[in-house]
Structure 1
């Protein structure tokens, strides 16, 4: 697909900034309901034939021009990120579909306690909404994008029934489950944003195991294939290579559009009655902070001073297990074959708050294995020594990975860099992020438990894999939702307390991070918010 024929001078009913999961959700639902929708996306369409996943030089491409790290990839459509004061570095992808191009496809829902950490466990703050509020929208999005899994996970209330049969857990999943059963710990086949039945030009999962470098089959429900074709068919327009400089406001303090640069560097403006920002937990606060005026000198929608604060990034650690039997551990999905919520809830006796979600992940090739030995001297992981590692472990190993709940801290934040700028001269976002002592204890607890799980499954060798700092794939909390304008940026429907026709619908709105992958909750929140926007349209304030 190419750029839309939309022009900069048109006025949209709704202008969306960002074509990732939340932007795609909003565009699809609004366009199918008859709204005139324009989306500005800094990136471009990516042809899945270009993905590195099925290329012989895949690992070389992923180390450079197709890296998930924008500071390494450095495409014209990227913006740099100042990470000199951050212990975790963001991974994001600017494109139609956003970072779902490179996400693993894991699609768990948050658990009920994630929305009530203050009330139930005395930790952090409660969301202004509950699991029950989002439940019908979780189900809606499962149907819309194509989700597969096994019904009946006891970790959730009611009976979750994914619309498609699950991807096989394979020998890897059975081996991981063997140890969990011995220990009496929860596990379940992972719910995936992956189709297991062919649909249109999307093939059913062929188990490439390359989910995190783009699915060449089209089976993974990245939003460019899962939502945008339907949105465009319904009339939504996407302007790609559009770098937004600021959200503009009128004399009454209402958002009236956005000023942006086209790919030739020309300044454009698109007008709209409602503006929705979907730039992720780093891009959104950056844009709001750049959008200053006499009315909003500290950034748009920032009367609370919380835009950019409470950044949460899901610290991650893995334990590799090597076994003395083959189980085809290069087969996907990647993501997870099975996952565990055994340690997801708060247990104060552990010495820290909240918990972790585990994923049993394949080791899909020699480079993935050797990456886990990156701290060793070069001579111990190349040549004959490197080949020895590969022969011993590839096909006979997998990794238990733990994503821990990252609690909000106002000192962990996104600000505008005064040292780095993008190619348009706009300030790069700067991250200031430190892991808490609580997080460090949480990580160590899960290292010990994952090692125990491998031993119970019969591993002959285990190795801790500390992924810091290269795990910033979930960026959350920097424009949090809440009922009190003094302690939140938007309300429970993503609507700005300060600017009533401005919405934020990406992971920035999260009050807490959970330890579960956030994309299903991001899209469910966006769907609920957009439904409310349409239901209350008659009362919506718009610029004159």
Structure 2
């Protein structure tokens, strides 16, 4: 691939026309950067390969909404197969990556569980002797986190003893419902930690969001506009402040000049034409798969192994969060089709390391609703039957399952910490391409022994809770394959350029004007949903760029 010195932008371009910042990707990280930078007076252009969501196309109000989640709104891009998606080779992966191309990114299809990382998550090496410590701390991030939550409209109760003291959430907590109350019976009987769920779902009108009506279809686009996504909460402000958003723009290369500075990007527009966007500073926010893919695609004479890859770690140390789930069926009607689908109850009872268990680190639990007729025959997208016998799910058994389970279920999800392994990685596939002929990513990911032991332990504890709560039937699904919602670690953060890709501000060690603000930069994964931390790091990075604008090296 050629360097920018041999290519030219539009003939009319002058240094004055070139925006201060180009952002690639309009998901949670990219949107937050666009919001913060534009409001601080920087000129911003954002390229997004998907489109602005149309809430009228969300099917959560429709009787057939569960059927549409199997294809049109499936979180797996290989199943959904939209033109703006790119395929992913998962033939050598235990987990399928789940993502969505569009303004708002994969949060369009997330459950909206809001779970900031805990202080121990940033000090894994110090506390447990594994992985690496982050170059930033919980305390340093907290003021930015609290500012993010005001924009997001997070609902919840302050005072969870698992967290250090902090400000109130901007909207009151959502009801825990009958499902939550049933789970609480089990938690209290066992003396285990629980707390009302904290969600990126507004309980009252806030920053463009409507109050949640508890429809329970959160994971497939919220037709009520209550689930917090950046097309609602951030982009109206960013656009008003002057940011430019270009949708249908598939970036194929980040260009650099003879000094090794990023000068902008080459992209394919929605009409199939190749275009170039120049910029003084470039920010990558294409998620933990898309960002390393683009860096590996951006080879040049200066960066023969991929952009900003002198460490050799671009694409490596991929973390997904191993994920298991439990289903408990109860005699009484719990109205378990009712939302929110985020988390009614959260528990950190088994989050911190106890080496007597035979593994390090832990996992967060969430108590969920389980949807309608198809939901009672599946947990988070996987069949509740491990035998693979489809007759157990369809036909007469489907009717029997619906009759016995509809409205009577408690679901527990377990998000386990995933330790970074260099063998788990994103590569460029030598054969598979997207619809524009750009090499697609290939995922190589195998669960390690620590993750297997962690999940088995938590599965036993899930059964203990469900039985304590009075379940008459229990089912555990071990490591759901379609569970790669969290794409982390493939351009990791650290102080040492030899063992990390970006510094503590998200700036790549090798390219002074190239930053990353998505889950790629995670040093370790924690055992929580990452969106809160992604948006917090992005806000912090954007504020740093704005503060240092006079000292920032720029193309």
**Normalised-by-shorter TM-score class:** over 0.9
The CA distance in 1 between the partners of 2:459 and 2:391, in whole Å, is 27
The alignment status of 1:538 with 2:550, answered yes or no, reads yes
The equivalent of 1:478 in structure 2 is 490
> Which range is displaced more, 354-363 or 193-202?
193-202
**Alpha-carbon distance, 1:57 to partner:** 2.5
CA contact 2:145–2:533 (8 Å) conserved in 1: yes
Residues 8 and 242 (structure 1 numbering): CA distance in 2 closer, same or farther, change over 3 Å? farther
The equivalent of 1:274 in structure 2 is 281
Residues 423 and 165 (structure 1 numbering): CA distance in 2 closer, same or farther, change over 3 Å? same
> Which range is displaced more, 375-384 or 434-443?
375-384
**Alpha-carbon distance, 1:265 to partner:** 1.3
For structure 2, list consecutive stretches of 5 or more residues without a partner in the other structure: 1-9
CA contact 1:153–1:159 (8 Å) conserved in 2: no
**Alpha-carbon distance, 1:507 to partner:** 0.4
The CA distance in 1 between the partners of 2:499 and 2:454, in whole Å, is 27
Match of 1:379 among 391, 402, 406: 391
Residues 506 and 152 (structure 1 numbering): CA distance in 2 closer, same or farther, change over 3 Å? same
**Alpha-carbon distance, 1:56 to partner:** 2.5
Secondary structure of the corresponding residue to residue 304 of structure 1: coil
The equivalent of 1:290 in structure 2 is 297
Secondary structure of the corresponding residue to residue 134 of structure 1: helix
What is the aligned length? Answer: 538
The CA distance in 2 between the partners of 1:318 and 1:51, in whole Å, is 26
**Alpha-carbon distance, 1:200 to partner:** 6.7
The alignment status of 1:519 with 2:513, answered yes or no, reads no
The CA distance in 1 between the partners of 2:37 and 2:269, in whole Å, is 25
For structure 1, list consecutive stretches of 5 or more residues without a partner in the other structure: 1-5
The equivalent of 1:417 in structure 2 is 429
Secondary structure of the corresponding residue to residue 321 of structure 1: strand
**Alpha-carbon distance, 1:467 to partner:** 4.8
The alignment status of 1:134 with 2:146, answered yes or no, reads no
The CA distance in 2 between the partners of 1:517 and 1:311, in whole Å, is 15
The equivalent of 2:119 in structure 1 is 112
The CA distance in 2 between the partners of 1:458 and 1:542, in whole Å, is 62
Instruction: Give the alignment of 1:76-87 within 5 angstroms.
Output: 76-87=83-94
Match of 2:540 among 528, 535, 544: 528
The alignment status of 1:30 with 2:37, answered yes or no, reads yes
The equivalent of 1:100 in structure 2 is 107
> Which range is displaced more, 260-269 or 190-199?
190-199
TM-score scaled by structure 2? 0.95
The equivalent of 1:346 in structure 2 is 353
The equivalent of 1:3 in structure 2 is none
**Alpha-carbon distance, 1:12 to partner:** 1.1
**Alpha-carbon distance, 1:380 to partner:** 2.8
**Alpha-carbon distance, 1:299 to partner:** 0.4
The equivalent of 1:430 in structure 2 is 442
The equivalent of 1:214 in structure 2 is 221
Secondary structure of the corresponding residue to residue 224 of structure 1: helix
The CA distance in 2 between the partners of 1:59 and 1:174, in whole Å, is 26
CA contact 1:70–1:91 (8 Å) conserved in 2: yes
The CA distance in 2 between the partners of 1:446 and 1:323, in whole Å, is 21
Secondary structure of the corresponding residue to residue 63 of structure 1: coil
Summarize deviations over 1:321-341 as a string: whole Å, max 9, x none.
011111111111112100101
Match of 1:177 among 184, 192, 205: 184
The CA distance in 2 between the partners of 1:272 and 1:11, in whole Å, is 5
Summarize deviations over 1:334-392 as a string: whole Å, max 9, x none.
12100101111111000001001101011111101112335453333223322111111
The equivalent of 2:419 in structure 1 is 407
> Which range is displaced more, 279-288 or 231-240?
231-240
